[in-house]
Structure 1
């Protein structure tokens, strides 16, 4: 059976769900069938440019369904240069409804898959296994971009009848690994597996993380927590696996870092809807950190527009170093200056790989955190306090301290509490950075640049200042520049050390 959903938007139910505008189409109905039988329905429609962010197709699911399967296609017409073409995401909500932040979420694959299934005992990666209960389910379409010609789609829903399989009890990774006490721990907090749009299994990511010298990682699939129950076998005494999500909205992405197992964070809102604060609080209530990701990335919907008032940290460096990272670094430095000027809290910076598939390198870059132990809470406390630096690989190691007065000293993320005219010595020790240049950056800008380090990659750079001259100092390790005054790509950077009594 085939149903058409053609026609103008005015003939459909257009409403606001408490966030972004949404459109609900006519429902698709099935009649109950005998065990082992299958029924399929196909619906077709066309979405015009300017469609709402989310389009819901209600599916009336009868009793006795063992498996629900959905397949979809859409057209990709040629468009003029500089014009976005069609991109249609997909997911599903069960009989508990589509309420923003509600309990009905059952999976999301974005544009990474053309079909999915859900059963009690298994589901397509990106989706949550569980009973296919009787009631109204909703296929969620996300017309990410729509070509001038419109977006024509076809969805086929197939129900298989029979006794439901036995539901799986999820097993999650532990909150701790065997640490080294208070030490520097290396991690990558932004990674994608095949449970969203990545191409690697959790086991493959775990092996790459260990090979990269990492102590911890964070699961961060786009708009789904379906991977949470698939990391227990990857974790071990040598690798802490934290759980989270990359909340991928139309106005930017945020990494929910280290949330409680099974935590879902909704993404169906824009900055103009004034809903982000609610979901930032949701992340924190679940024990996680709020980390805006790649704030100046150039992909559609990636540029961060929610402000940084709710941020616990910001991902300044995302994957191989590019011009948008340079812009983010400068933007973050301006935020540091504002925090000093206004006497308010500052936002630490970090780096993550955002690795999806080969040749993306897990742990390039990585965040190196001074933590009391290798536990979720201790790592988060270190990140939140800014006791961290970012490095391009485990080969690069830094020690950065400021000292002055009567033997007072402070490290990364700390404050050296001395009088404003007290002489202060800033000292950076480096290994693993051949021919890199050290820059000391303050609220006045770059105030000291070293000669290139030797080919062996190790060296010590010192600089002297006072709190009246520099309210903070942070260090950058730069590769050789390609041309002229443009700085080279980062090999590492630190969070600041603040100077002065306040």
Structure 2
């Protein structure tokens, strides 16, 4: 995507070895911009293969610009537009740095070439046209959902409760149960859909809300309100702070939590700005949580990967080791065919109005396999099981109690509990 009118600002060829990654995973390659220019284009070239992944990011004189990880090999930044994952801004004079992440370096090493060019508007236009287009508004009952339709959560929750065919969900002190998903990605990191496309998909799945949690960036945040109104769903600002020692979602409109800051400070930063941090997929293979767990945390106890081995008891075991953990769930949707769709699993929050993050902070959550499946909710000192006839209600050290109706309300002590079938597959949980 280069133009005849380009000026090379940096060209570096470098071999990386495992010892380099062990020394420092994030490397900065500095270059100078002698005067303010219209746009820059950064290209990262290397022979990608299994076990070999390099990440790409950018920092400018004003600070962090963005991150695309291993999802892109070429990005542009200008005042009018930037590649998703990066914040549009003037390309000011001063020292800039290409950030190279040594995510996976094979034993025999990897050779990369980084090139930075000053480019004109035609290059920016070319990059912009290559991005996927936003879809039309969701059509429901013969009418488009748009900005004039009022609260997205009110619209979705009405249709949701009607579709379940079981009457009103329990209402506690004027609060309302809303259904959603706390983990998803767009083209602003390694997802395949633009913000609007993801919103349309989540709305079609019957969700009230969706947290959009792209990796190490908040460049998607400005697009969330309009996309949510357009498609009739509340989009919660989020960010997946991603390091090799663990991933964490920061939920709420709290600005950037720099992934290069000490992980021990992520929760403090989120809380100080009015948000919440959640430990992601704590048992997630090579992205498991390898840091201490503060109590009581919020954690993605139910990740979509659980569906691959439904009888896997480790997620429950991890939760029971930290019983004060507030459980949430996430599909971790990137693109169709690679992950479960939004709402698998579904997290339910008992919210005041649309204050979804506040409900999580207060610990008013429950998780189910899907939006229309069996559900277990806490109603004061009672548990309400819905669409759960034939399942067993149980918890740590508790007998398994078979439920004999679609709607059952029983007295219960606080603490983890769940619904499981005769094969020990979990269908819903709450605390």
Partner-residue secondary structure (3-state), 1:68: strand
Once the 2 structures are TM-superposed, how far is the Cα of residue 236 of structure 1 from its aligned partner? 2.3
Shift of 1:473: 4.9
Q: 2:298 aligns with which of 302, 313, 316?
A: 313
- How many angstroms apart in 1 are the aligned matches of 2:296 and 2:86? 28
Q: In the alignment, is the contact (CA less than 8 A) between 1:247 and 1:266 conserved in 2?
A: yes
- Alpha-carbon separation, structure 2, partners of 1:254 and 1:210: 25
Q: Aligned-pair distance for 1:289? A: 0.3
| Cα distance in 1, alignment partners of residues 81 and 421 from structure 2 | 48
Q: Which of these two proteins has the greater Rg computed from alpha carbons? A: 1
In 2, the alpha carbon distance for the partners of 1:58 and 1:176 equals 46
Matches within 5 A, 1:433-452: 433=388, 437-442=391-396, 445-450=397-402
Which runs of structure 2 are paired with 1:323-402 in the superposition (5 Å)? 326-336=313-323, 346-359=324-337, 360-374=340-354, 378-396=355-373, 398=375, 400=377
Aligned to 1:210: 203
Instruction: Identify the structure with the greater helix proportion.
Output: 2
Distance in structure 1 (CA, Å) of the matches to 2:190 and 2:389: 35
For the residue of structure 2 that corresponds to 1:196, the secondary structure is coil
Aligned to 2:6: 38
1:136 maps onto 2:72 in alignment: no
Within 2, Cα distance between the matches of 1:203 and 1:357? 14
Aligned-pair CA distance for 1:386:
2.2
Matched, 1:284 2:271: yes
Rounded to whole Å, the distance in 1 between the matches of 2:200 and 2:384 is: 32
The superposition leaves residues 127-156 of structure 1 with CA deviations (integer Å, 9 ceiling, x where unpaired) of: 111100011100010111211111210112
For the 8 Å contact 1:277–1:310, the answer to whether it is kept is: no
1:268 and 2:260 are equivalent in the alignment: yes
Matching of residue 231 in structure 1 with residue 224 in structure 2: yes
Structure 1 distance, partners of 2:18, 2:416, is 47
Q: Deviations over 1:49-87 (max 9, x none)?
A: 12121111111112141110011111346xxxxxx7221
For 1:219, the equivalent position in structure 2 comes to 212
Contact 1:36–1:161, Cα closer than 8 Å, also in 2: no
Residue 283 of structure 2 is matched in structure 1 by: 296
For 1:158-177, list aligned pairs within 5 A: 158-160=117-119, 177=152
Q: Which residue in 2 is equivalent to 1:58?
A: 30
Name the TM-score, length of structure 1 as normaliser.
Answer: 0.69
User: 2: distance between equivalents of 1:311 and 1:158?
Assistant: 48
For residues 63 and 36 of structure 1, what CA distance do their matches in structure 2 show? 20
Q: Distance in 1 between matches of 2:277 and 2:18?
A: 33
- Does the residue aligned with 1:460 lie in a helix, a strand or coil? strand
Contact 2:366 2:376 in 1 (8 A): no
Residue of structure 2 equivalent to 1:26 = none
CA contact (8 A) 1:438 1:475 kept: no
Distance in 1, Cα, partners of 2:383 & 2:48: 56
Counterpart in the other structure of 1:185: 178
- Equivalenced residues, count: 377
Q: CA deviation at 1:287?
A: 1.6
1:451-498 C-alpha deviation (Å, 9 max, x unpaired) = 7x68xxx35375x78xxxxx64543223452xxxxx22x221112xxx
SS at structure 2 position matched to 1:477 = strand
Aligned equivalents of 2:188, 2:40: Cα separation in 1? 18
In structure 1, the gaps of 5 or more residues are: 1-34, 78-83, 97-103, 166-172, 270-274, 337-345, 402-410, 417-425, 466-470, 482-486, 496-502
Contact 1:318–1:351 (Cα < 8 Å) also in 2: yes
| 4+ runs deviating over 4 angstroms | 175-178, 322-325
Deviation at 1:387, TM superposition (A): 1.9
Question: Paired residue for 1:151?
Answer: 110
8 Å CA contact 1:231–1:241 kept in 2: the answer is yes
